[in-house]
Structure 1
């Protein structure tokens, strides 16, 4: 019933967005704004401009977002296929962020009072959503995950989610088909107040310092803070996300 309810909810939102103008304010070019966001030229923003709320909604729920994510997944897989097996027996690792890279929060952001990031972030309301553990998979990423496993990559999830969400996150991942992984790294209380970029860099460094002598090959995230700093891997791949910005 939850899946059916989610389907009808998203179908309603899609119909609403399809009926809305892509550019409610013709003087504000939302396509250029999204390009600036995805290229990290636009930084530090807190909400989607009101002129672009329906545009972002239409993009996220339409075909183009799914095509864009699939293009990222295809590029990542093509790169991974060309990576040779390590002669020194060090495990090849592929890192994934979790929120809106593997697990989609789109049903949360599609709610009218959240408006695809057009309203200030409500941490209390978002925490309630996370606790439900019903996030769908980001289109195209589950298939990439399975292909990487077939290539014998070790999968490591590095998430900004709290350690308190380990059980619900584990169940959500496994219910969707993300059945096994090397590590699921979640934020500890000692990481509170640390920026996402510094936190994820620290966790990558800790991963490389472990006795297994991992080699980070690939890294997929929806935020630039997932993909910059030390030891990001041989190649990084960014999944589009114009709904929010995390530094």
Structure 2
């Protein structure tokens, strides 16, 4: 079933890109409210396979009660694909970004240029759904080689809810810092991809260097946030799709967790 789903999604994805390319632009540009042209059923009803509730699995992941896992249950790949490409994922993202918008608008800012908001990149400000639609939604072990090849193409899509939040934050005079697990050799393509997606300005883009080789994401991101604070910056907000984006030290005044049940990063 999982293999069949991958084949169908891959064919649909290829067809969608072919149609959009024939018109000279991606379908995304014609439908700005969509992050991806594939829209199967929502995945909100909680499929039960062999006694397993995939909705309950997703809840356990998002609440950080399920930790240290390498792959999602094989039986849940179809459910996860439906969720990530369906309306429920967008709705969940809107709730998080909407709350962040209300919070940001109510901040009493110092106005000295030292207030910053930290954003993760993958599945936070940029969406890699075309990659996962082709390679699967987390039931197979992660292979960094094809993913890095995808990153170097620079075609990750904008996550519209995050872009709206970003625009509001910039308009308030809060500086933006992107803190990503992408590596330093991916700086140029990441900068271009962010700008093409609408993220046109930022204070810093922090990528992982070799000095953090073997370190967990929590340690790496805590350290880099700590460096920001030592330079006098105040982290008023922090948003990511993984708990490792939000845990540890120097997490900021408030954190916001976007949905992402496809993989777990410690």
Q: 1:3 to 1:81 in 2, by over 3 A?
A: farther
Q: How does 1:42-191 map to 2 (within 5 A)?
A: 42-86=66-110, 89=112, 91-111=114-134, 114-191=135-212
CA drift at 1:218: 0.3
**Dislocated runs of 4+, deviation >4 Å:** 5-8
Q: 1:3 to 1:193 in 2, by over 3 A?
A: farther
Distance 1:32 1:22 in 2: 7
Distance 1:158 1:123 in 2: 19
CA drift at 1:14: 3.7
Match of 1:225 among 240, 244, 250: 244
Distance 2:147 2:192 in 1: 18
CA drift at 1:243: 0.4
In structure 1, the partner of 2:20 is 4
User: Residue 241 in 1 paired to residue 260 in 2?
Assistant: yes
CA drift at 1:151: 0.8
TM-score (norm 1): 0.90
Uncovered stretches (5+) of structure 2, i.e. residues with no partner: 1-16, 29-35
Distance 1:116 1:3 in 2: 24
SS of the residue 2:236 aligns to:
strand
1:159-188 per-residue CA deviation (whole Å, 9 max, x = no partner) reads: 000000110000000011100000000011
Contact 1:18–1:58, Cα closer than 8 Å, also in 2 = yes
Contact 1:66–1:139, Cα closer than 8 Å, also in 2 = no
Distance 1:151 1:140 in 2: 17
TM-score (norm 2): 0.84
CA drift at 1:4: 2.1
Farther off after superposition, 165-174 or 78-87: 78-87
Aligned residues: 238
CA-atom RMSD, angstroms? 2.1
1:182-218 per-residue CA deviation (whole Å, 9 max, x = no partner) reads: 00000111111111000000000111112xx110000
CA drift at 1:3: 9.0
Distance 1:234 1:2 in 2: 45
Q: 1:160 to 1:2 in 2, by over 3 A?
A: farther
